[in-house]
Amino acid sequence: MALPYEWQLRVNKIKVFFHRFFGGNEEAPRPKMCPACGTLVGVSATRCHECGTSLTFSLAAAGRGVSGLFSGRAPATTVLLIVNFLMFAVTLVSSLQRGTSLGLMATMDGEVLYRLGASSPVAIFYDHQWFRLVTAMFLHFDILHIAFNMWVLWDIGPIIEEVYGSARYLFLYTITGIAGFLLSALRGHNAVGASTALMGLIGIMLAITTKRGGAAMKAERSRLILWIVIIFAWGMASGLNVDNWGHFGGVASGFALGRIFADRQPTPGNEMKRAYALGWLAAVIILVSFAFMIWHVRDGLS
């Protein structure tokens, strides 16, 4: 039976004293911190005495471990940026190998985009390739397409991530992106790009401004609405292949989720556990979707 935390501290102090007195210089074990609620627990504890979280393995501990690999202001946003640029590099190399001549405004090879998981109504609804609703978020037509989308992601992603925490942010990003491509596919569009999820983040920001009062929030809400109107107007008037249905699905789902989720960091305990569970759910959805995409590429090449 483990000693109470206070007594463990006393015993450790006595051990350190005698260890140093007899010439030892190794650092004594230190108390642990629960990854879910932040409570200090004993050095030999295997479970938090406050919230019951396992200290040997838990979603919260695993989540913090992954975040530590990408330490900084916005680790989830950083990972999303890296994956987007890696997928663009793969698309670029594959397009060049197929003989596509690429300039600043030239689009990637359509067959390559399809093989790498572009959204396609026929493939999704008739061949049941649902992974495309996810993988399409990480594909882009050309350099300007990815440059603009990644600039927007780096501009507003850290804001949302700071409000909701990295785990819930990744969940919101993934779900709004899926919702955007689902509506786009239902309307018969073939599409790629991170803009469905980015519009989801804008919808979340709009929802936040409706739940918070004050002149600053009102002004921010007006700017967001103007931004959304400009994006849709540009999509209709530019003559480019802009997927406004995907944008609408993203912003609508983002607004709905923004109204549901509390616009703050999850509190320690059960809420923190649920947040990490949602984050890992999103991560699994992304990883499984990429696994199906890789299987599809290999199957298509065989």
Last residue of a domain, one of 30, 60, 90: 60
Asked if 128 is an active-site residue, the reply is: no
Show the domain range for 120: 70-301
Question: What CATH code is carried by the domain that includes residue 261?
Answer: 1.20.1540.10
**25 and 77 inside one domain:** no
Is 131 found in the same domain as 104?
Answer: yes
Are 122 and 207 contained in the same domain? yes
Reply yes or no on whether the pLDDT at 229 is more than 50: yes
Does position 280 have pLDDT exceeding 50, yes or no? yes
Q: C-alpha angle 99/102/108, rounded to 5°? A: 80
Same domain, 54 and 148: no
Question: Among the options 119, 166, 195, 289, which is catalytic?
Answer: 195
Q: Does residue 230 carry a pLDDT above 70?
A: yes
Q: Beta-carbon neighbour count of residue 171 at 10 Å?
A: 25
Last-in-domain residue among 20, 37, 60: 60
189/41 same-domain check: no
Residue range 276-302: mean pLDDT, rounded: 87
Mean pLDDT, to the nearest integer, of 256-272? Answer: 90
40 backbone dihedrals φ, ψ, rounded to 5°: -75, 135
Contact 94, 88 (CB under 8 A): no
Q: Which of 166, 247, 253, 296 is catalytic?
A: 247
Distance of alpha carbon 51 from alpha carbon 301, whole angstroms: 51
- Threshold 0.75, pTM exceeds: yes
Same domain, 78 and 54: no
* Count of structural domains within the chain: 2
Reported confidence tier of residue 23, pLDDT bands at 50, 70, 90:
very low
Of 66-80, 145-159, 191-205, 239-253, which gets the smallest average pLDDT? 66-80
Q: Give residue-wise pLDDT tens across range 208-218.
A: 999 888 888 88
What per-residue confidence (pLDDT) applies to 302? Answer: 42
Same domain membership, residue 54 and residue 163: no
Are 52 and 178 found together in one domain? no
Tokens of 216: 């600053």
Residue 247 falls in the annotated catalytic set: yes
Whether residue 14 lies inside any domain: the answer is yes
Is 4's pLDDT higher than 60?
A: no
* Contact between residue 79 and residue 44 where contact means Cβ atoms under 8 Å apart: no
